Amino acid sequence: MVEPAAERETMRTSMFEQYAQPCLAELYGTTLFVFVGCASVMGNIGQFGVLQAAMAHGMALAVLIMLFGKISGGHFNPVVSVSVYLCGGMKVALLLPYILAQMLGGMLGAALTRGVFPR
C-alpha cells in the first residue's frame, strides 16, 4: 500500500523534529557554551578573576537552556544525557546521537575560541 504524499511529508517532519532537531540544538548549545566559557577564561584580564569565569559559565548555561530546553532538554553535557536516559527521560535511540553532538559541539566551541584568541 502506497502512502499519500501528505502522510510521507508529515512522517519526514516528525522524524526531523524527533531526532535531527534535538541533536542540532545540542550541537549548537554545546558549541556556544564551550565558546563562552573558554572565551571568558582566555579574555579574563579584569580584577574579578574566578568570579568572571563562573558568572559567564552560569549565565551562558541559563540562557542556552532557555533557548534550547524545549527542543532538546538543554543537556549540553554527555553525563547529563546519560543520567536523563537512566532515569527514563529519553529514548535510547537519542542517547548516542546526543553524546556525539555534544562532543562535536565541545570541539567546535574550543576551535572557535582558538580562532578568536590565537595566542
pLDDT confidence band for 47 (50 / 70 / 90): confident
pLDDT confidence band for 116 (50 / 70 / 90): very high
pLDDT confidence band for 64 (50 / 70 / 90): very high
User: Distance of CA 108 to CAs 31, 35, 59, 112, 115, Å?
Assistant: 6, 8, 20, 6, 10
Q: Is the Cβ–Cβ distance between 89 and 46 less than 8 Å?
A: no
104 pLDDT more than 80: yes
Work out the average pLDDT over 41-63.
86
pLDDT confidence band for 105 (50 / 70 / 90): very high
- Tally the residues of the chain: 119
Work out the average pLDDT over 14-33.
93
Work out the average pLDDT over 97-106.
97
Domain extent, residue 17, equals 5-116
- What are the strands, taking DSSP E only, across the chain? none
Work out the average pLDDT over 35-44.
88
* Domain of residue 38, CATH code: 1.20.1080.10
Work out the average pLDDT over 27-43.
93
Residue 29: burial class (beta carbons within 10 Å; 0-12, 13-18, 19+): buried
Number of domains present in the structure of the chain: 1
